[in-house]
A = this chain, B = another copy of it.
Amino acid sequence: MSLTNHVKYIKFMCARYSTLPLNQILQGDCRDILPDLPDRSVDLIFADPPYNLQLQQDLYRPDRSRVEAVNDAWDQFSSFSEYDEFSQAWLKECRRVLKDDGALWVIGTYHNIFRIGTILQDLGFWILNDVIWIKTNPMPNFRGVRFTNAHETLIWAVKSRDANYIFNHHAMKALNDDLQMRSDWYIPICSGPERIRINGKKIHSTQKPEALLYRIILATTRPGDVILDPFFGTGTTGAVAQRLGRNWIGIEQELQYIQAARERIARVNPAPADALSLPVRSRKSRLPFGTLVEHHLIKPGQILYFDRNPDIRAMVLSNGHLSVDGWSGSIHMAAEKICGRPTNGWERWYFLDEHGNFQPVAVLKQKFLSGISKEDDLKENL
């Protein structure tokens, strides 16, 4: 299919059927291509826009070799206001294309990230974190006139303050040896076999490491989600999305990058599904306290003690409420009434077991839930 026909096909599919050109690279300036994508259609956007580096002259190392600079045509802007206009244009379209609960990541350096952050806030985006990619092996400052610029900044934002965004907290915690993941990420720059080269010469001046995208995608998407990258380059986003069982859409101007990206992604094998479906803590395992009463795990009239304190008592009513000094309500409300703020009643109310030991009522919930799963097992085995 010719390029022109390809573009026509994409536009046709999107406009007519509101379907998305999944797992494809669309050629062109993202300011021209984004308008063809439907409203509220993608789950995540990762953007690595031009940094507006404003390098003035060649830079030489102490051994007098020349540093290959980022002076591609796509990184030339004549002024801040021109850069701002450009940024507003693509960010506005990203906002339209993003689902209301979707999220946006943008990466940059001090040359451009302050302008990006300000524009994001002015467009109504709500910043969740700024994350620092700390390079374990940055290029030193050869002339010794500044601090080694050893990091880049990522902004993670959603469309509004009340967006119900995805954050796979437990996956992040697991990835970090069971400690909460922080806003400082230690990742080497892209080099070695991962760096795409032709005849030993790197074809993209700012190729991002796959490890960076791995963490972003694992943290803020689910398998099957659609990830859009409006500055696709050599397709790091697509390669990692493919590996993690996510769908992707890339937008890129340069044919050379597109070809390299297509070859690269074609070589990626997705991970097996059972390695991707992570044990997500279910939010829907809610069990009303009254169910325990119905199933005789706790009896109407039984006495519960707050925080193992034998003097703070409540009586279980037949409807599953607790009665405290004439007042009655749920285990949570009763606990809140005593400690003065919202709290989890399952962990605050204790009963005396057959040995005379205090046990939180949560153990009864556990007992009940495991009993149910045994029943299910029984049914399945029949």
Look across to chain B and name the residue whose beta carbon is closest to the beta carbon of A371: B192
Given A139-B378, A139-B382, A169-B144, decide whether A177 and B286 contact each other with a Cβ distance below 8 A.
Answer: yes
Is A203 engaged at the interface, CB distance under 8 Å to the other chain? no
Is A131 engaged at the interface, CB distance under 8 Å to the other chain? yes
Give 1 or 0 for each of A289-332: 1 = CB within 8 Å of chain B CB. 11101111001110000000000000111111101000011100
Given A147-B129, A184-B134, A300-B275, decide whether A177 and B290 contact each other with a Cβ distance below 8 A.
Answer: yes
Among A12-20, A30-38, A109-117, the stretch in contact with B = A109-117
For A205, the chain B residues whose CB sits under 8 A away are 382
Q: Is the CB of A122 within 8 A of B295?
A: no
B-facing residues in A104-139 (Cβ within 8 Å):
109-111, 113-118, 120-122, 127-132, 134, 136-139
Q: How far is the CB of A270 from chain B (nearest CB, A)?
A: 9
For A382, the chain B residues whose CB sits under 8 A away are 67-70, 139, 189, 205-206
Q: Is the CB of B114 within 8 A of A129?
A: no
A307–B130 Cα distance when bound, in Å, is 42
For A339, the chain B residues whose CB sits under 8 A away are 64
Q: Is the CB of B148 within 8 A of A318?
A: no
Look across to chain B and name the residue whose beta carbon is closest to the beta carbon of A69: B382
Given A205-B382, A214-B294, decide whether A278 and B318 contact each other with a Cβ distance below 8 A.
Answer: yes
Q: How far is the CB of A9 from chain B (nearest CB, A)?
A: 33
* Nearest 8 pairs of A and B residues by beta carbon: A114-B117, A175-B290, A275-B300, A271-B300, A272-B301, A275-B301, A150-B182, A171-B319
- A residues sitting closer than 8 Å to B (CB atoms) are 60-61, 64, 66-70, 80, 109-111, 113-118, 120-122, 127-132, 134, 136-141, 144-151, 153, 155-156, 167-184, 186-192, 195, 202, 205-206, 210-211, 214-215, 218-219, 244, 271-272, 274-276, 278-279, 283, 286, 288-291, 293-296, 299-301, 315-321, 323, 328-330, 333, 339, 341, 343, 371-374, 377-382
